[in-house]
Amino acid sequence: MINFSFDGKNYTAEEGDTLAAALLRNGIGLVGRSFKYHRPRGIMTAGIEEPNALVTIGTGGRTEPNTRATDVFVYEGLVAKSQNRWPNLSFDVGSILGLAAPILSAGFYYKTFFGSAKRWMLYEYFIRKAAGLGNAPTVADPDRFSQRAAFCDVLVVGAGPAGMQAAVDAAEAGKRVILVEQDSILAPSLVRDPQEQDAAWISATAGRIRAANGLILTRTTASGYWEHDLVTLTQRISEPGQIPAHGVAQRLWHVRAGHVILATGSIERPMAFAHNDRPGVMLSQAVRTYVSRFGVIPGKRVVIATNNDDAYKTALALADSGTQVVAILDARPAPAGEDSGFRVYNNAVPLSTKGARHCLTNVSALVDGKPISFDADLLAVSGGFTPVVHLHMQAGGTLDWNDAAQAFIPATSRQNVTTIGGGADPQPIFKMVPVSPPKKSFIDFQNDVTLADVDLAWAEGYRSVEHLKRYTTLGMATDQGKLSNMAALGRLAEKQGVAIPEAGLTTFRPPYTPVTMGLLAGAGAKDAGAHVRQLALYQLHAEKNPIWQPLGYWFRPRAYPTDGETLAQAALREAKAVRTTVGMTDVSTLAKFEVSGPDAAAFLEIICATTVSKLAVGRGRYTFMLREDGLVFDDGTVWRLEENRYLLTSSTGGADRMATHISYVRQYLCPHLRISAVNVQEHHAGIAIAGPKAKAVLAALIGEEPPRHMSTVPAVIGGVPVIILAASYSGERAFEIYVEANKAATVWVACESQTTAQGGTLYGLEAMEFLRIEKGHLVVGGEVDGRMTPHDLALDKMLNKAGDFIGASGLSRPALAEPGRRQLVGLEAITGDIPEGAMLVTGEGTSPQGHVSAAAFRVLAGGSIALGQLTDGFARHGEELIASSPTRGQQARVRVVAPHFYDAAGERYRD
């Protein structure tokens, strides 16, 4: 005995019950309200195709709305609620919508929407409240979802008799086999319809599969078939709303299979007749499942409507259970086979149903053209069988039409997939044409689509099945047309006057059954994306409790405030130290490439737009790189460390794309060059020391005369080998020290001690930004924004005249030399502080002629300055403009000047 609750009332279930079985066991027939008209609905099926019995399971973060009651197994304490009803299920105010059915017919949304936007606004509120399914939970799901990759020779989907036989055959032939079954038990169809293969056969076969190292997964659905025989499986480890025993609620498998065998069977079809959606109308096989598998008899007086032999098994199962089979309505004109002993009417089709208090009371039928009615509380219908071809179609398959079964069956596929069992060979049926008035003859129960809606869509000119689907919403939501598509196709084909195969099919898209979003996100959901990397010197920074700033994959110190300083105060103090004494900072994240070999210079002159080969050993230079279209891509420095060995640096943020670019050029464009190009970005940590006293600090560290500006020497600091590059980003005499990352701490501590001894300090990215803006140095992503040519950035004098670098062709496009391009300028404020990102305008209401890419203050002299891009800016020095930022509500009057605010002659670099 298992205790559960439904709509706040407590009930008991038997072990192994689905919620649907448990509800029927407790005599609950009314389970939900329909999507549009709020019609009372009951349980129609015993499987994942259930369109009506959608419930919300669980509480809090484990709430799972729109769960099919047929696809959840009852556990102790399960909490289920019905949906789309107010105030309660049996008295639902919304059901008055049923009376408004004429205005809610197919295309209602489109018609009102196109008619008038105002009307839509009015209706939308009402529709959103009234129409719909369950509500999504509003708190986070506490459960974990895991993902797993697997490989096998044979993946068998569906553990019916055919699937189990295929799995055991493959496993015993030495293949690696995975067998998946969406139900909680193996071979549920054999439990429903005992045949030669009985329970003993099932357990023996499962044992043989496992003995041959086959993997059997139950409660696992093959939800999608992707490229190259990749099948995703969604495995329920705990039931919806249930607290997982071992933390993981569900697992998503990515299975790459050598061969996929689909033994997915068929889904029984309902029939279209008036009021065929009433609780008490159930599919024939579902009735048999409840009787034979769960021991639940869903009715006392049963009418069966069929067009095939299979439904007679339902009659036998009901009779065995002592239930009265009132009549069998067989659409076939004459008896097929021997006398079953039941009261069989041939040439008989159901017409309509009646009910009271949401229960079926009466079934009327047309027998030989004459109406006849039966008192009954259960109507079991079998309208034929639709093979489950979803995975076959997702694999890029084609279908054949099987006229005897009135069904599509799998034909060819471009992947390694085979369909076996009932899905490949459905039972023959008698073709029926609906005779009831179409208005209340539902074909899509979940979306409240009737035959009349299909007729209306046709009358309004919707000819294609894809249009029909979108116009009527047929085939959407959780069941994705598993019950309705064939009925709709039949009606459409009838209207078109063609055979069903010519009417076309909609696309079978994954997932086969609904998949919870958490499962797709998996364990990585919380910190998806790029992982944060840690600086080699992280610990030394952290001890000083800096303000951190993300840069590329790293966090770098933005400033080191002391004594309650603000960011701006700290940054200004640090920048002043660099201008007046000395400062040091961590530049480890810069992109770094070591290029060596006899053709190293030639290779670098392909990558870089400047000359490289003219560098003497021990010298370096500023350089920049172009994209193939001639626009500036990145910039940095290049150093000749030895005769055939160079170090190239470029921006932190562009490091990955530069690494890819260098690799592409080396591997694809220049495989003949004798070089090695190695990404050493994280191999070296980097320390920059800048300021008038930087030279003194260096001399004390390395015990010799430091290299002059743009020179490099190897040296040793604190016993650790380093490379010294004399380069300056700040505008002061400066050095960069590169050291193997895992030995960087020793060097940093030595540098800090000498810097402090000279009265200097540490500085962060904010001070660095002040310094470089004042100096007019570029930032990739700021001034270098992917739209600027070397000329636009005033770099064109540095271009390699030989011109064999990447981007030389693109740069020679005439349009790039035309007037009207944005060009790099400096801006100084006349009044106000220049807002970063502001647009540059000539006056109120005029179009922007450029923008501010970076704003700062003169470090020593004070005053707001900025770098920016301005149309034809080179020729406009001296002009006054307005830098306006409406989003910040700030503006400043500015004067256009050269983009060098400090030591334009570069005298401070030199000794």
How far apart, in whole angstroms, are the C-alpha atoms of residue 450 and residue 447?
Answer: 9
Question: Of 411, 369, 420, 407, nearest to 265 (Cα)?
Answer: 420
Stretch that binds another protein, among 224-232, 267-275, 438-446, 903-911 (CB under 8 A): 224-232
Stretch that binds another protein, among 223-231, 286-294, 642-650, 839-847 (CB under 8 A): 223-231
Q: Is 663 in the site for another protein (CB under 8 A)?
A: yes
523 vs 830 by CB, closer to another protein: 523
Alpha-carbon radius of gyration of the chain: 38
Q: Is 553 in the site for another protein (CB under 8 A)?
A: no
Q: Is 810 in the site for another protein (CB under 8 A)?
A: yes
Three-class DSSP category at 251: strand
Do 896 and 852 meet the contact criterion of CB atoms below 8 Å apart? no
Question: Of 478, 454, 448, nearest to 41 (Cα)?
Answer: 448
Q: Which of residues 103-162 bind another protein (CB under 8 A)?
A: 149
How far is the CA of 42 from the CAs of 23, 212, 478, in angstroms? Answer: 10, 43, 16
Instruction: Report, in Å, the least distance between residue 813 CB and another protein.
Output: 6
499 vs 678 by CB, closer to another protein: 678
Instruction: Report, in Å, the least distance between residue 158 CB and another protein.
Output: 23
With CB under 8 A as the contact rule, the residue among 499, 669, 802, 898 that binds another protein is 669
With CB under 8 A as the contact rule, the residue among 144, 256, 619, 876 that binds another protein is 256
Q: Is 813 in the site for another protein (CB under 8 A)?
A: yes
Q: Is 227 in the site for another protein (CB under 8 A)?
A: yes
Q: Is 525 in the site for another protein (CB under 8 A)?
A: no
Do 171 and 209 meet the contact criterion of CB atoms below 8 Å apart? yes
61 vs 803 by CB, closer to another protein: 803
Stretch that binds another protein, among 65-73, 225-233, 680-688, 758-766 (CB under 8 A): 225-233
Stretch that binds another protein, among 72-80, 243-251, 772-780, 808-816 (CB under 8 A): 808-816
670 vs 713 by CB, closer to another protein: 670
How far apart, in whole angstroms, are the C-alpha atoms of residue 476 and residue 485?
Answer: 10
Tokens for 276, please give them. 């065929």
With CB under 8 A as the contact rule, the residue among 243, 551, 670, 680 that binds another protein is 670
How far apart, in whole angstroms, are the C-alpha atoms of residue 89 and residue 560?
Answer: 64
Question: Of 893, 876, 875, nearest to 884 (Cα)?
Answer: 893
Contact residues for 901 (Cβ-Cβ < 8 A; gap 6+):
773, 774, 775, 776, 826, 828, 858, 865
Per-residue mark of binding to another protein, 384-423 (x: CB under 8 A): ------------x-----------------x---------
Instruction: Report, in Å, the least distance between residue 676 CB and another protein.
Output: 9
With CB under 8 A as the contact rule, the residue among 809, 832, 833, 874 that binds another protein is 809
Do 264 and 393 meet the contact criterion of CB atoms below 8 Å apart? no
How far apart, in whole angstroms, are the C-alpha atoms of residue 639 and residue 366?
Answer: 94
674 vs 708 by CB, closer to another protein: 674
Three-class DSSP category at 649: strand
With CB under 8 A as the contact rule, the residue among 59, 613, 660, 753 that binds another protein is 660
With CB under 8 A as the contact rule, the residue among 425, 629, 740, 833 that binds another protein is 629
Q: Is 812 in the site for another protein (CB under 8 A)?
A: yes
How many Cα atoms sit within 13 Å of 567 on the Cβ side?
11
Q: Which long-range contacts (CB under 8 A, 24 or more apart) does 705-710 make?
A: 706/735, 707/618, 707/735, 708/910, 708/911, 709/733, 709/909, 709/910, 709/911, 710/619, 710/620, 710/621
Tokens for 163, please give them. 């699937």
3 vs 667 by CB, closer to another protein: 667
Q: Which residue(s) pair with 157 in the sheet?
A: 180, 262
Q: Is 606 in the site for another protein (CB under 8 A)?
A: yes
Q: Which residue(s) pair with 869 in the sheet?
A: 824, 851
Tokens for 848, please give them. 């922007």
Q: Is 300 in the site for another protein (CB under 8 A)?
A: no
349 vs 395 by CB, closer to another protein: 395
With CB under 8 A as the contact rule, the residue among 678, 804, 886, 898 that binds another protein is 804
Q: Is 22 in the site for another protein (CB under 8 A)?
A: no
Instruction: Report, in Å, the least distance between residue 809 CB and another protein.
Output: 4
Do 654 and 633 meet the contact criterion of CB atoms below 8 Å apart? yes
With CB under 8 A as the contact rule, the residue among 144, 175, 210, 254 that binds another protein is 254
Q: Using CB under 8 A, list all residues that contact another protein.
A: 149, 226-228, 230, 254, 256, 396, 414, 606, 628-629, 660, 663-664, 666-672, 804, 806, 809-810, 812-813
